[in-house]
Amino acid sequence: MRAIGYMYKRVETPEGFDLPGISDVYSLGACVNDDFADYIDFWKHNGYFLFDSPAVMRALADELEISLEGLRLFYYEAHDLQFDGDSREWVPFGPFHDDVNVQPPARAMLEGFDITSFWAGAGPECSPLSCNYLARSIETNKHCLLPTFEAAVDVLESGAFKNAKPGPYRIVAVYSVAETE
């Protein structure tokens, strides 16, 4: 797994999101739980379209006068290969640009594994477990994440994402980070 960055997210269960056993959504994709801001145009993000440290996001939020109150801080790591659903092969990938210097957190809690689409090859797009409601037929934890890396590999290789969003797909470890970071 490689460090790909941080993001402050709004965590909630959206109205009408009715999946038994799921209390909230910790997906990397922003379809269900929004990122802290529409940050792309400011080019403060790294080559994975995330942030190298929480401090970079806090500075941008201050600059844009955006409150981070009530948001959760997440840290992400990605499997070194991405899954191409068309060819059904695992293939290498890299950052969109080489400006990546992720500072791993001192302490973080692994919450589970998301599978996120990267059709355009740049930043994270959709998380079909929540975005396409695939969690209706795929067992997830209370945060709509897969419990293990092996479960994520099995789900992809089984073809369960075949009619979801266009891939390729990356397996992403999702960590909660204490606000002291």
Using pLDDT thresholds of 50, 70 and 90, give the confidence band for residue 180: low
- State the Cα angle at 143 between 13 and 155, rounded to 5°: 120
Can you list the positions of beta strands (E) in the chain?
Answer: 2-9, 72-84, 89-92, 108-117, 169-177
The overall average pLDDT reported for the chain is 90
Residue 181 confidence (pLDDT) above 60? no
- Show the DSSP H helices in the chain as ranges: 54-64, 128-131, 149-158
Q: What share of the chain is helix, strand, coil (3-state, %, to 5)?
A: 15, 25, 55
Query: Between these two residues, 38 and 149, which has the higher pLDDT value?
Result: 149
User: What length is written for the chain?
Assistant: 181
Nearest partner of 92 among 78, 80, 77, 108, judged by Cα: 80
* Alpha carbon 55 to its chain's center: 19
Distance CA 91, CA 84 (A): 7
pTM: 0.93
**62-110 residue pLDDT tens:** 999 999 999 999 999 999 999 998 889 999 998 988 889 999 999 999 9
The CA distance from 40 to 45, in Å, is 7
Please, what sign has the CA dihedral across residues 110, 115, 121, 126? negative
The Cβ of residue 158 has, within 10 Å, a number of other Cβ atoms equal to 10
pLDDT for 141-169, tens place per residue? 999 999 999 999 999 999 988 888 777 99
Structure confidence at residue 14 (pLDDT): 67
